[in-house]
Chain A
């Protein structure tokens, strides 16, 4: 049978970002997918040469809008470890609260986009309405909806007042209630199941060998979550990685859905266990040495490698983002899909291309 190559992206209705896939199709069945990346390369790592290590915080935050908090948190953790700075307990808890708020709003955004990808517009609307509560929390407590910019080397810049804490608790509780109200639609509606169950399945071995990260990995049955490394306040807060076993688009949706609910519990635990005290310590000197740090972003494991040479400019910053790790699994599960399922399958890894290309 004749083969056709159909370009998918870089501009496509389901993609907010420019991912380009060449789909080699026979009839309507995808035989092979060839990725082409590089549309939004901005050279942010190179900026480390002309921005000092404090200014780089604002640069790495802009690697990715949706997980800005986690990028700067990962970066600051690395620099702090390199310089031997121990940040105050309260700062660790504050970082946890904001990072979990980020995870929540990222997952809600994805759930909405996912619903949109299989054509369930009103579900998309519901998720994004709930998300707006979290965005308001970010805006009111940190000063900006998306790029919260609260991290500095040595702690955080903003504190939460007791009133803000109780407001956050009531808002996330309300968001949790609203998420639960559409749980039955998201998880057991006929159309949703029909479009997602059994589509683009990835076995546990495949996911592990291809180096999948985050919800893509956990949906295939591997209980791996970088929060188990006990960074920030996770040494005090107990949680279990959310795991599903089917490895298909549906399982990835369920993992993210349950993680959004789990974040509410973590925020609650972080706020109730938050000690009083300083929120940052003064830092003197310049970073020297090499470091690798990892945090769990909404999309998976993010890794920072940094090398300092004792001046205020870092010698090298290398960022490995979760979507980069999830591209090989994406290519692996594409063959055999119907063309109509491609948007759902591509979205199921939650691609963040700006992150990947930096």
Chain B
């Protein structure tokens, strides 16, 4: 009997274990996978992320005539596994440790960037 009483008394006089949430927010842990960003200037539209993504929520397309590429991600289908971040060869994808804000409409993240024209490598000047 009364086994819980010491614990109850301790809880009564110790500080609360929950936070007053909307007013007091905990710092996110730096490794947390919260939101996916693409630095479109670095992206080379190689489609690696589209192929590897397990939820198939990324679509990459190139428009050769206009010289632009489009990277589309459906943030509502993304499972935040960070596989795409691992495989991206130019490291243009990154994860931010904050949650996405709730949204009432299903918006896609669509980013348009310029296609990189492969530079012709000049032969390195020979040293004499």
Q: Which residues of A come within 8 Å of B, CB atoms? A: 51, 54-59, 62, 122-123, 126, 129, 132, 136, 139-144, 147, 149, 157-158, 181-182, 184-185, 188-190
Central interface residue in A55, A56, A122, by most chain B CB within 10 Å: A55
* Secondary structure call for the A interface: helix
Give bound CA distance, A140 to B30, whole Å.
Answer: 7
Query: Closest B-chain residue to A186, C-beta based?
Result: B3
Say yes or no: is B86 at the interface (Cβ < 8 Å to chain A): yes
In the bound complex, residues from chain B placing their C-beta under 8 Å from that of A188 are 3
Query: Closest A-chain residue to B30, C-beta based?
Result: A140
Central interface residue in B3, B33, B95, by most chain A CB within 10 Å: B3
Contact B55 A58 (CB under 8 A): yes
Say yes or no: is B9 at the interface (Cβ < 8 Å to chain A): no
> Which 6 residue pairs across A and B have the least CB separation, nearest first?
A58-B54, A55-B54, A140-B29, A185-B3, A143-B33, A189-B3
Contact A126 B7 (CB under 8 A): yes
Contact B54 A122 (CB under 8 A): no
In the bound complex, residues from chain B placing their C-beta under 8 Å from that of A56 are 54
In the bound complex, residues from chain A placing their C-beta under 8 Å from that of B4 are 122-123, 182, 185, 189
In the bound complex, residues from chain B placing their C-beta under 8 Å from that of A157 are 86
Contact A143 B31 (CB under 8 A): yes
Contact B17 A149 (CB under 8 A): no
Say yes or no: is B83 at the interface (Cβ < 8 Å to chain A): yes
In the bound complex, residues from chain B placing their C-beta under 8 Å from that of A143 are 29, 31-33, 82, 95
Give bound CA distance, A123 to B4, whole Å.
Answer: 8
Q: B1-37 interface mask toward A, CB cutoff 8 Å, 1 = contact, 0 = none?
A: 1011001100000000100000000000101110000
Q: Which residues of B come within 8 Å of A, CB atoms? A: 1, 3-4, 7-8, 17, 29, 31-33, 52-55, 79-83, 86, 95
Contact A181 B7 (CB under 8 A): yes
Contact B54 A51 (CB under 8 A): yes
Query: Closest B-chain residue to A57, C-beta based?
Result: B54
Known: A126-B7, A157-B86. A144 touches B1 (CB 8 A): no
In the bound complex, residues from chain B placing their C-beta under 8 Å from that of A142 are 31
In the bound complex, residues from chain A placing their C-beta under 8 Å from that of B1 are 189-190
In the bound complex, residues from chain B placing their C-beta under 8 Å from that of A141 are 31
**Inter-chain contact total with CB atoms closer than 8 Å:** 58
Give bound CA distance, A189 to B95, whole Å.
Answer: 47
Known: A122-B4, A182-B7, A185-B3. A58 touches B81 (CB 8 A): yes
Give bound CA distance, A143 to B55, whole Å.
Answer: 18
In the bound complex, residues from chain A placing their C-beta under 8 Å from that of B82 are 143, 149
Give bound CA distance, A188 to B2, whole Å.
Answer: 10
Query: Closest A-chain residue to B26, C-beta based?
Result: A136
Q: How far is the CB of B10 from chain A (nearest CB, A)?
A: 8
Q: How far is the CB of A154 from chain B (nearest CB, A)?
A: 13
Pairs across A and B, CB under 8 Å, 15 listed: A55-B54, A56-B54, A57-B54, A58-B54, A58-B55, A132-B17, A139-B32, A143-B31, A143-B95, A144-B33, A149-B81, A157-B86, A182-B4, A185-B3, A189-B3
Query: Closest B-chain residue to A56, C-beta based?
Result: B54
In the bound complex, residues from chain B placing their C-beta under 8 Å from that of A132 are 17
Given A59-B54, A185-B3, 7 extra CB contacts under 8 A: A54-B54, A55-B52, A55-B53, A58-B54, A62-B79, A139-B29, A184-B3
In the bound complex, residues from chain A placing their C-beta under 8 Å from that of B80 are 144
In the bound complex, residues from chain A placing their C-beta under 8 Å from that of B31 are 139-143, 158
Contact A58 B83 (CB under 8 A): yes
Query: Closest B-chain residue to A47, C-beta based?
Result: B54
In the bound complex, residues from chain B placing their C-beta under 8 Å from that of A55 are 52-54
Give bound CA distance, A142 to B32, whole Å.
Answer: 8
Q: How far is the CB of A65 from chain B (nearest CB, A)?
A: 12
In the bound complex, residues from chain A placing their C-beta under 8 Å from that of B8 are 122
Give bound CA distance, A189 to B52, whole Å.
Answer: 53
Query: Closest B-chain residue to A50, C-beta based?
Result: B56
Give bound CA distance, A151 to B124, whole Å.
Answer: 43
In the bound complex, residues from chain A placing their C-beta under 8 Å from that of B7 are 126, 181-182, 185
Q: How far is the CB of B104 from chain A (nearest CB, A)?
A: 25
Central interface residue in B33, B54, B86, by most chain A CB within 10 Å: B54
Give bound CA distance, A57 to B55, whole Å.
Answer: 11
Central interface residue in A51, A143, A147, A157, by most chain B CB within 10 Å: A143
